[in-house]
Chain A
Amino acid sequence: MSSFNQIRAILSQKTIGIAGAGGLGSNCAVSLLRSGVGKLIIADFDVVSDANLNRQFYFHDQIGERKVDALRDNLLRICPFASLQMHNIKVTPQNISLLFSTCDVVVEAFDLADQKQMLIEYMLTNHPEIPLVAASGLAGWGGTEMLRIQRSGSLYICGDESSEVSDENPPLAPKVNIVSNLQADTVLGILLGDKQ
């Protein structure tokens, strides 16, 4: 068993990249920061809207702010000494290496499936040595016993791989939080070694 201080000593040396600061990215960032991860590099181009507040780590008085600015403020309220690199940018194949090539682990936290595929294919092709923790399938409620983590080499996929977001099946806080924290926990497992 490691003490929390020993765990923090390891995690404080690590840099985690998070692509997307929505439901997955904002909540995953909070858990990683609370766990003691040394540095977070977060990229998103969106602004906070009313519809985001059902699951994302933002507050009503932040509506209209850029997500990377609002998330920086919120993370600094948890830990004023956090090392944060926030990028207000749309993640594309042209900037992924620039953003994330120094990271120990990268978290895929996009909304749209084609964006997820773009990041996964780019990372597996160009940075196969960097573990990538992605998410797929977290809409609606119930069926949380179907949530799982699939691993293939350096790629980890968290979710049920089937519940797709739609007008009739919106993303809701509980399941989005569970999956974003499955991602955060998977990151810890990669950094600290699998045990327990």
Chain B
Amino acid sequence: MKIMLNNREEQFDAQTLTVAQIMEIKSFTFRMLVVRLNDTLVKKEDYSTASVKDGDDLKIIHLVSGG
């Protein structure tokens, strides 16, 4: 499948993947994240069930302290 990940085109071998699987493949390791799938919020407890399919727009945004 082909998706947009943080505004960049990304290709994966699988037909669908969960948000958690994509995070593991792409090594998103930050503790605090905001995840938006097709502009809808995905909460932490749903990372391992929310499935991403071909054509989806996924944004994984790092939140780091400082202000």
| Partner-A contacts on B (CB < 8 A) | 6-7, 31-34, 36, 39-41, 43, 59, 61-67
CB neighbours of A110 from chain B (8 A)? 67
In the bound complex, CA of A136 to CA of B58 (Å): 18
For chain A, give the interface size range: 35 or more
- The reply to whether A116 and B61 contact each other, CB–CB distance below 8 Å, is no
Distance (Å) between the CB of B56 and the closest chain A CB?
A: 13
- Does any Cβ of B come within 8 Å of A117's Cβ? yes
- Does any Cβ of B come within 8 Å of A139's Cβ? yes
- Does any Cβ of B come within 8 Å of A137's Cβ? yes
In the bound complex, CA of A111 to CA of B63 (Å): 11
From the candidates A20, A112, A137, A138, name the one contacting B62 in the complex (CB within 8 A).
Answer: A137
- The reply to whether A165 and B65 contact each other, CB–CB distance below 8 Å, is yes
Looking at A6-14, A96-104, A118-126, the stretch in contact with chain B turns out to be A118-126
A-B contact pairs, 29 of them (CB 8 A): A22-B67, A23-B66, A23-B67, A110-B67, A111-B65, A113-B31, A113-B64, A113-B65, A116-B32, A116-B67, A117-B33, A117-B63, A120-B34, A121-B41, A124-B41, A135-B67, A136-B62, A139-B64, A150-B7, A150-B59, A152-B61, A153-B39, A153-B40, A157-B34, A161-B61, A161-B63, A161-B64, A162-B64, A165-B65
